[in-house]
Chains A and B, each alone.
Chain A
Amino acid sequence: MNSSVTSIKLVLLGEAAVGKSSIVLRFVSNDFSENKEPTIGAAFLTQRVNIGEQTVKFEIWDTAGQERFASLAPMYYRNAQAALVVYDITKPQSFIKARHWVKELHEQASKGIVIALVGNKLDMIENGGERKVAKEEAEKLAEEEGLLFFETSAKSGENVNEVFLGIGEKIPIKKPGEQANEQSGLRITDDQRVDLTNSVNGPVRSAGCNC
């Protein structure tokens, strides 16, 4: 039995048709479908994963990439603890859009938000397609802005779980000080959320120590 389940609120942002829904579908259902219909509005999904000893419940907002819905985005990232900013490595325009999203998140989202920059459609390169966004360029952005960085393929599944695990490990699950409280039965809820404002400055210990 899990002593506690921690929820991580996560939002996906990025230009239309870069594969946001496909990444989520791969992560949640380990599935892929060609020609997926564009998302309208936003879709909400959940997935539980074990990271070390800890069960983490991802509450995922998969937003529509279409420009018309962009004004609704703050509603989804406002309280998010993590964001996936997705671009298509064969479409330079989508990387420009990704830069904009990173900037907006740093300005508008909650302070300690963990952002992962994700270049999707790696399979297209492997099948002879042309890469238009250099890995170095994305790595540079990630370094400057303090982002996690991954290149993935939702189609083959490559690196997709790693993105979520990476986020799960980076988000401080709990402070050691809270452990004692929890063990004595206080403040344990099935749906406990990570309090970012407290934990950012506190000692960070990724994964484990849930004895």
Chain B
Amino acid sequence: MHALTQNTTPARRLSVLKNMGIGVVAAALAATALYAGLRELRKAPAPELPAAMEMGHADRPALTADQERYAHALWKVHDQVRTAAVRMSFLGLSYKMGEIKKTELATRVEPISREFNSAAAEVEKLAPPQSFEALHAEYLSAVRNYEKASADMRAAKGDSDDHLIAAQTLSERAATTLLKVGETLWPGEHKPN
């Protein structure tokens, strides 16, 4: 800075100043470009995650086409089974809450029994891929347990709740199996509530 002001001619001083000016402008342009670039980077949309990844399923292996077909077919039956199961529990609750008598309980469980019968027949018709044979057998055993549970509920008579307790034990076992199978075939079936 001292050399520039003390030991140079006015023409050289002007040239040096001109070069400095160009340098300053260039630096300003570079800084602007850098700022704009960073700003754009910040604004860039976050990469869209597939829904499965957002919910933490990313590390699950995909189902094969055969497995997918089976899962889809069983889902239709599962809908029927699940709803019938919850209805059956509620009939038991209605009885325990004094809203219906045992005779009415038996009458109202009857159509639910038929639903389980038909669901079991539907499941038997399905041909699972070899990799899902054990799962298929488990699901069928769950539906069979529901069938037995509904029969036990219909058999409840008098003051004793023994039949109802036996039925509830079976249906809870079946419900546990439903969850287990569901987690393999239909991950994310239960959402945060």
Do chains A and B interact in one complex? no
Q: Which residues of A contact B (CB under 8 A)?
A: none
Interface residues of B (CB under 8 A from A): none
